[in-house]
């Protein structure tokens, strides 16, 4: 991919401490952006910054994106140190939370798969929602959706105040289209698409572009909570025959962040190896 030019821009990346977030932060930095790497784990955010092409113009921040006050305080600190925000990447996301019934879901899924493998008519039902408590639902929605809203609001305020025609990219998922996955995760990622489309219309007159990237299965730490057989089944269903690597998603994000995508807004860029067609 040709080099993306982002010199002079300030980019905020959430969930930047590992996986796709780390790859995205470092990719934007390689294009010349000053990067604010936000993560709940400050030490991991620091490690991401240390891997940037020029760590002296990148900063790590501890931030819980599900806390609107923490988000506002962090964005104020970013502006004071690096300047007004030009680019936001809403990458922070989780696939499970305490009280969400994931353990029961995976146990039932294993039983159902075993029945199918034995040639039996499956009698086990995987009713994830029946085991999901309010705490578990809110835990995932708080990070994946509320966090994206809080950070987008803060970034838009920064862009408007500085008259910046910025770019905001949120990480959705192929699950938003296929419906495959845990109900709270799928719902949050589908909502990201709605948020993207609504804000693209709302902010177009200001020249602020709002897009999303929908990865398929990607080799990140979030995959650690998924049973190995499920991962194998997912990979087998991907036409390209493998999961994506974080740097491949980072390339898609950096293109949307740059002027190379100047006519793109309200779009969902699919990077899933053909596993599902939008």
| Calpha distance 238→265 (Å, rounded) | 27
Q: Is residue 106 part of a domain?
A: no
- pLDDT of the residue at 278: 67
| pLDDT tens-digit profile, the chain (278 residues) | 446 789 999 999 999 999 999 999 999 999 999 999 999 999 999 999 999 999 999 999 999 999 999 999 999 999 999 999 999 999 999 999 999 999 998 899 889 989 999 999 999 999 999 999 999 999 999 999 999 999 999 999 999 999 999 999 999 999 899 898 899 999 999 999 999 999 999 999 999 999 999 998 888 877 776 667 777 777 777 888 788 899 999 999 999 999 999 999 999 999 887 777 76
* Rounded (10°) angle between helices 228-236 and 102-117: 60
Pairing verdict, β 10-14 and 87-90:
parallel
Q: Considering the domain boundaries, does residue 82 fall inside one? A: yes
The answer as to whether 110 is a domain residue is: no
SS (H, E, C) 60-79: EEECCCCCHHHHHHHHHHHH
Domain membership of residue 105 (yes or no) is no
> Cα 210 vs. chain centroid, distance in angstroms?
14
Closest residue by Cα to residue 193 from 213, 164, 223, 166: 213
Residue of 61, 106, 185, 276 marked catalytic: 185
Q: Is 150 a catalytic residue?
A: no
**Inside any domain, residue 115:** no
Q: Measure the CA–CA gap between 10 and 104, rounded to whole angstroms.
A: 43
Record the pTM. Answer: 0.92
The count of residues in the chain is 278
Question: At 251, which CATH number?
Answer: 3.40.50.720
From CA 153, how far away is CA 253, in angstroms rounded? 19
Q: Does any domain span residue 130? A: no
Q: What pLDDT shows up at residue 1?
A: 42
Cα–Cα distance for residue pair 17/130, rounded to 1 Å = 33
Strand, helix or coil for residue 122? coil
**134 belongs to a structural domain:** no
Helix%, strand%, coil% for the chain, nearest 5: 50, 15, 35
Q: How many domains does the chain fold into?
A: 1
Domain annotation covers residue 109: no
Place of tokens 């990140």: 220
Confirm if 249 and 215 have CB atoms less than 8 A apart.
yes
Q: Which domain holds residue 185?
A: 10-99+141-270
């Amino acid at each position: 991919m040709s080099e993306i030019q982002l010199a002079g821009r300030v980019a905020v990346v959430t969930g930047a401490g590992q996986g796709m977030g780390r790859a995205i932060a470092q990719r934007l930095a390689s294009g010349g952006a000053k990067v604010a790497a936000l993560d709940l784990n400050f030490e991991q955010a620091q490690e991401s910054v240390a891997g940037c092409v020029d760590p002296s113009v990148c900063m790590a921040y501890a931030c819980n994106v599900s806390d609107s006050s923490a988000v506002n305080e962090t964005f104020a600190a970013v502006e004071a140190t690096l300047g007004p925000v030009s680019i936001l990447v809403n990458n922070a996301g989780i696939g499970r939370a305490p009280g969400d019934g994931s353990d029961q879901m995976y146990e039932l899924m294993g039983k159902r798969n075993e029945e199918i493998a034995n040639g039996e008519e499956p009698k086990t039902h995987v009713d994830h929602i029946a085991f999901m408590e309010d705490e578990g639902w809110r835990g995932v929605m708080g990070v994946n959706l509320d966090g994206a809203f809080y950070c987008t609001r803060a970034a838009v305020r920064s862009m408007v105040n500085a008259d910046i025609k910025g770019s905001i990219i949120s990480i959705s998922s192929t699950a938003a289209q296929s419906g495959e996955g845990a109900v709270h995760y799928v719902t949050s990622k589908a909502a990201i698409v709605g948020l993207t489309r609504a804000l693209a219309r709302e902010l177009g007159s200001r020249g602020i572009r709002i897009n999303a990237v929908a990865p398929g299965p990607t080799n990140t730490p979030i995959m650690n909570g998924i049973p190995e057989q499920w991962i194998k089944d997912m990979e087998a269903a991907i036409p390209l025959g493998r999961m994506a690597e974080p740097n491949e998603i980072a390339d898609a994000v950096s293109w949307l962040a740059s002027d190379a995508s100047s006519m793109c807004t309200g779009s969902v860029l699919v990077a899933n190896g053909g596993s599902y067609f939008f």
